[in-house]
Structure 1
Amino acid sequence: MSQEQDLVNTGLSTFFFFIASIVLAALNHRTGAEISAVIFGFLATAAYAVNTFLAVQKWRVSVRQQSTNDYIRARTESRDVDSRPEIQRLDT
């Protein structure tokens, strides 16, 4: 699975757990099982939120590294053109 898919999946899971927890907290009948479910829902939301944050950080690092690698590759390719004898310069 790609990093973008991980980011989208964890973000959506965070959102849906949060909405479900709010709805259950608003509509519960204060039984022990429902209170436990609300607590679990908010804990799951927090866990998915941390995972979403880490996925965003990982995605940002990979985008930054990719742009750096593109720059290095472009510079290397431009140097290769100058050193190739089969390419003749027009100004000489």
Structure 2
Amino acid sequence: MNILFIEDDAIESMKLNRTISKWPVQHRIIQAKNGEEALEILNGPDKLPDIILLDLNMPRMNGIEFLRILKEDPKLRYLPTIILTTSQN
């Protein structure tokens, strides 16, 4: 499975990588630090990810802005996206 992980916090990235490394099946994680970087990856030449894990609180383009653009794009709108956040709000 190809996973696009959009997260700006290095500690959260380490947690995900550590967790996934323990799974019996191998997964490929592509990481973006913000929504702008993620859109560049999605519009690049590589195969689209099977799933997106999206943080809401990021610099430059937050998760809500990214999600709005993603859902307006006919090519990207059906990508399964899971929103992650550590926010108390």
TM category (shorter chain) comes to: under 0.3
Greater share of residues in strand: 2
Tell me the TM-score normalized by structure 1.
0.27
Greater share of residues in helix: 1
Q: Highest CA radius of gyration, 1 or 2? A: 1
Tell me the TM-score normalized by structure 2.
0.28
